[in-house]
Amino acid sequence: MQKTSDAVNAQWSLMDSSAVTSKSTSLDLGVMRIACGSGVTGGITGAQIDYSEENITIGMVVEPLNGEPQTCQSNETVPYTLELEEPVGQAHAD
């Protein structure tokens, strides 16, 4: 996974929040494209991660759509393990 400055275009949620501890250095996420994508999220191409004492702010980026018209049913949730540069500690993931 590469850090990116590309526009965030996907939402995420923790797959199992009870598995996250202060020592966790990875997060198991479910990632879903925000825009209409005919039910397809696509591949995850990058992440924006900002660390502070109170928060870890995460933005996910998925591959661009192909330019054709898309239908707007809910897109698939793609499982993804995000590796962090430091343990979660007491921060909250946003």
48/6 Cα distance (integer angstroms):
8
pLDDT of residue 31: 98
Summarize pLDDT for 44-59 with one digit per residue, the tens: 999 999 998 888 999 9
pLDDT of residue 4: 60
15/73 Cα distance (integer angstroms):
21
Strand pairing class (55-62; 92-93): parallel
E strand residue ranges, the chain:
10-14, 26-33, 44-51, 55-62, 78-83, 92-93
Strand, helix or coil for residue 32: strand
Give the number of other Cβ atoms within 10 Å of residue 33's Cβ: 25
What's the whole-model pTM score? 0.87
- Do 92 and 39 touch, CB atoms closer than 8 A? no
Summarize pLDDT for 29-82 with one digit per residue, the tens: 999 999 999 999 999 999 999 998 888 999 999 999 888 899 999 999 999 999
User: If you ran DSSP here, which 8-state letter would residue 84 be given?
Assistant: P
